[in-house]
Amino acid sequence: MNPTLNPLLRRYRAPAGYLLLAVLAYLLPYQLGSYDMHVLDTAFVFGILAIGLGIVMGIAGQINLAQITLMGVGAYTTAVLTTQENYGFWVAAILAVLASGLVGLIIGVPALRVQSHYLGIVTLGLSLAFTDWVTTSTLAGSGSGISGIPVPPLGGIDLSDDYLYYYLELVVFVLSLAFGLFVVRTRLGRRMRAMRDDPLAAGSGGARIPVLRMTAFLLAGLYGGVAGVLYAGLIRFVAPETFSTADMFLLLAMVVIGGRQSLWGCVIGALALSVVQDELTDLSTYAQLGYGIVVVITAVVAPTGLAGLPGRIRPLIRRQREQPALAPFQPYPATAAARETATGRELLRLDAVTMRFKGLTALREVSLSVGAGEIRGIVGPNGSGKTTLFNVISGLYQASQGTVSFADRHVHNLRPYRLSDLGLSRTFQNLRLFRELTVREHVMVGLDRTRPGWAWRYAIWPVGVWRAERRLGAQADELLDRYGLAGFAKATPYALPYGIQRRVELARAMAGEPRLLLLDEPAAGLNATEKAQLVEIVRSIRDHGTTVIIIEHDMGLVMSLCGKVTVLAAGQVIAEGAPADVAANPSVIEAYLGRAAAPRQTDAAEPAPSKTKEPTV
């Protein structure tokens, strides 16, 4: 194949594809009979609803078994306002979407306190409560539903015609999908996905988990409302049966089979299943059996659904190109900030911090002072409280007693995201990466320092979001180059070798240019070369202006890297000082080996080492 043709094809592949789809979509009604048209119209409604479920469940990871209820709220509100309050259709529609959004927020409130099966049962319960209400309340037609919803007026176009309604739906659908994809592929979606994959790491990186959850449910509500409005305009009759739990499970099946983490997958799943379900109404029980089996198989074998299949098949059929390699680290340029930190002002201070859990005192009156520009080592035997110390500093635990000050501010009861705002960053002992995010996205999450109020721009000024996205991408690329990760930009972390995963976590932690970086056993599992690289990187990080505290077991590493070392044993500080001094300290030796220093082999001529010296602490 002509090599110069390839890049051209690649560049126009996506727009050409969209154009083709657009043409097909325009021509489709001409091919279909009126019954099929109606089926397709209904399918599109579910497609929009599925996008909402995809966002809240697939992207943000929140179980929402009340998604169909949100459609019900939209449809019923439209119905009630048009038939009983005589509002115009479109006015009612806007109010209905707002109402659904509000109900979405209400349903989301439990998500602030509980997750997984608790959230599942609560949302399911609320969904039943809604069904209950519409079946009983006279306002909602007491179980027989509301009929006589007016045809939506649109200039001279008769929207009672399914063919013409299709075009209305198509426009709404395309806008909904486009907005959904826009959210998913920019910072809001990325933060939600980070929250889904590891809420702890996301929170420690600055994400406001509660706000993100509520935003997800709000979006679910809005999409549900739009779907409900379209449904009301299409069928012009609403009844409780359409919003039953059986339909909720059908929607769930659509989203899972299609691939819940991909909006395209949700949409394809919804369209496909609606059509299939209709085709098989005569064989409905066998159809039901069939898709029950498909759902089980999908959950067990292909959790990423249809949309995830290409990603899983591709590595199997395509020959491995040469493996990308880790490029060398490019040291940070020396900056003015580095000069500032060289003053050695106190940056972090712990005063008599005690941490008690049920029956266990993990930290006992620990006092610590770290100056700006230091690389401080925290060492100690297994179970001495080192990671607990980090968890207290980074806000994951609240100290039972004592205070923590960061940059002259009392911070000991602040949440992790607040500490992140103040310039604290950390890595984790057991490596917390975002399973489904690419390496580039990891770094973008780290770079993203915007506050939650920013999310309003999605509604008001999307162009700003787009421009910021491009800037963020450019910064990410720079950072990837610096850390030698450019070759891995598009890879997901858990497929990568361990040493590279560690590098990714480090790059993510440094992306926000923190003032203080906590590294929890960064060398665990690394080989000698990788450890040497780590030393180089940490030194450059310090020279760039970030103070580093590092927990490590590899004493050789600690020796070469740290200016000062604090030794913890059984939750207390037993020694502090230069590494060589600390290593010779008898209390330290005893804490590690369980005994005093080994008596040295001496010649007769050498004087015996004095044992009368007091141990230095």
Partner 1 sequence: MSTAVAAPPHTRQLRVEDLSVRYGGVRAVESVSFSIAPGEALGIIGANGAGKTSTLRALMGLVPRAAGTVRYGERNLTKASAHTMVRHGIGYVPEGRHVFSGLSVEKNLLLGGYSRGWRKANQEALDGVYARFPVLAEMAGRPAGALSGGQQQMLAIGRALMPKPSLVLLDEPSMGLSPKLVEEILDILTGLRAAGLSLLLVEQNAELAFGATGRCLVMENGRVVMEGDVARLRADDRVQRSYLGL
Partner 2 sequence: MQVFLQTIVGGLNLGAVYALVALGFALVYRTMGLVNFAHADVLMIGAYIAATFTVSQHLPFAVAVLASIVITGVIGLFIERFLRPLEGRDFDLMLIGTIGFGIVLESVATLIWGATGEAVPSPVQTRPLVVFGASVPTYDLVVMGVAVVAMLALSLFLERTRRGVAMQAVAMDYDAAKAVGINVGRSNAIAFAIGAGLAALAGALVGPELYVSPTMGGSIGIDGFAAAILGGFGSIPGAVVGALAVGLLNSFSADYFQGYADLATFVLFAVIVMIKPTGLFGEKTVLRA
131's contact among partner 1, partner 2, none, with CB below 5 to 8 A by partner kind, is partner 2
| Helices then strands, each counted (H, E), the chain | 24, 12
**Pick 136 or 616: Cβ nearer partner 2:** 136
Site for partner 1 in 519-538 (CB under 8 A): 521, 524-525
Selection from 504, 463, 460, 462 nearest residue 482 by Cα: 504
Instruction: Tell me, residue by residue from 557 to 586, as one string, x for binding to partner 1 by CB under 8 A and - for no binding.
Output: xxx----------x------------x---
Query: Phi and psi dihedrals of 345, rounded to 5?
Result: -60, 150
**Pick 598 or 605: Cβ nearer partner 1:** 598
27's contact among partner 1, partner 2, none, with CB below 5 to 8 A by partner kind, is none
Site for partner 1 in 15-74 (CB under 8 A): none
433 lies in the site for partner 1, by CB under 8 A: no
What residues make contact with partner 2 under the rule CB under 8 A?
57, 61, 63, 109-110, 113-118, 120-122, 124-126, 128-133, 135-137, 199-200, 203, 209-210, 245-246, 249, 252-253, 256, 260, 285-286, 288-289, 291-296, 298-300, 303, 396, 415
559's contact among partner 2, partner 1, none, with CB below 5 to 8 A by partner kind, is partner 1
The residue within the footprint of partner 1, chosen from 14, 316, 598, 605 (CB under 8 A), is: 598
Site for partner 1 in 538-557 (CB under 8 A): 553-557
What's the min distance (Å) between Cβ of 524 and partner 1?
6
Number of amino acids touching partner 1 (CB under 8 A): 31
Residue type at 349 in one-letter notation: R
What's the min distance (Å) between Cβ of 295 and partner 2?
3
592's contact among partner 1, partner 2, none, with CB below 5 to 8 A by partner kind, is partner 1
Contact status, residue 546 vs residue 534, Cβ threshold 8 Å: no
Taking CB under 8 A as the binding criterion, the range among 219-227, 365-373, 391-399, 496-504 that sits at the site for partner 1 is 496-504
Q: H or E segment at 375? A: strand 375-379
595's contact among partner 1, partner 2, none, with CB below 5 to 8 A by partner kind, is partner 1
d(C-alpha 50, C-alpha 251), whole Å:
7
d(C-alpha 406, C-alpha 429), whole Å:
22
| Burial per residue of 337-369, b for 16 or more beta-carbon CB atoms within 10 angstroms, e otherwise | bbeebeeeeebbbbbebbbeeeeeebbbebebe
Q: Which residue's entry shows tokens 């390699």?
A: 325
d(C-alpha 25, C-alpha 413), whole Å:
56
What 3-state class would DSSP assign to 613? coil
Alpha helices in 139-186 (DSSP H): 162-185
**Pick 133 or 498: Cβ nearer partner 1:** 498
Residue 402 burial (CB count, 10 A): 18
The residue within the footprint of partner 1, chosen from 113, 200, 593, 609 (CB under 8 A), is: 593
**DSSP, res 304:** T
316 lies in the site for partner 1, by CB under 8 A: no
What's the min distance (Å) between Cβ of 129 and partner 2?
4
Residue 276 burial (CB count, 10 A): 12
Rg (CA), the chain: 30
What's the min distance (Å) between Cβ of 494 and partner 1?
8
What's the min distance (Å) between Cβ of 593 and partner 1?
4
What's the min distance (Å) between Cβ of 208 and partner 2?
8
Contact status, residue 64 vs residue 56, Cβ threshold 8 Å: yes
3 lies in the site for partner 1, by CB under 8 A: no
Selection from 366, 354, 432, 431 nearest residue 397 by Cα: 354
What 3-state class would DSSP assign to 31? helix
**Pick 331 or 586: Cβ nearer partner 1:** 586
CA distances from 308 to 235, 257, 529 (A): 34, 10, 36
The residue within the footprint of partner 1, chosen from 324, 331, 381, 452 (CB under 8 A), is: 381
**At a CB cut-off of 8 Å and minimum separation 6, what does 101 contact?**
218, 221, 222, 225
**Pick 303 or 609: Cβ nearer partner 2:** 303
What's the min distance (Å) between Cβ of 292 and partner 2?
3
524's contact among partner 1, partner 2, none, with CB below 5 to 8 A by partner kind, is partner 1
d(C-alpha 420, C-alpha 524), whole Å:
24
How would DSSP label each residue in 306-370? HHHHHHHHHHHHSPPPPPP-PPPP-PPPP-HHHHHHTT--EEEEEEEEEEEETTEEEEEEEEEEE
371's contact among partner 1, partner 2, none, with CB below 5 to 8 A by partner kind, is none
What's the min distance (Å) between Cβ of 553 and partner 1?
4
**Pick 196 or 442: Cβ nearer partner 2:** 196
290 lies in the site for partner 1, by CB under 8 A: no
**Pick 178 or 299: Cβ nearer partner 2:** 299
**Pick 263 or 567: Cβ nearer partner 2:** 263
The residues of the shown chain that bind partner 1, judged by CB under 8 A, are 381-383, 494, 497-499, 501, 521, 524-525, 553-559, 570, 583, 588-589, 592-595, 597-601
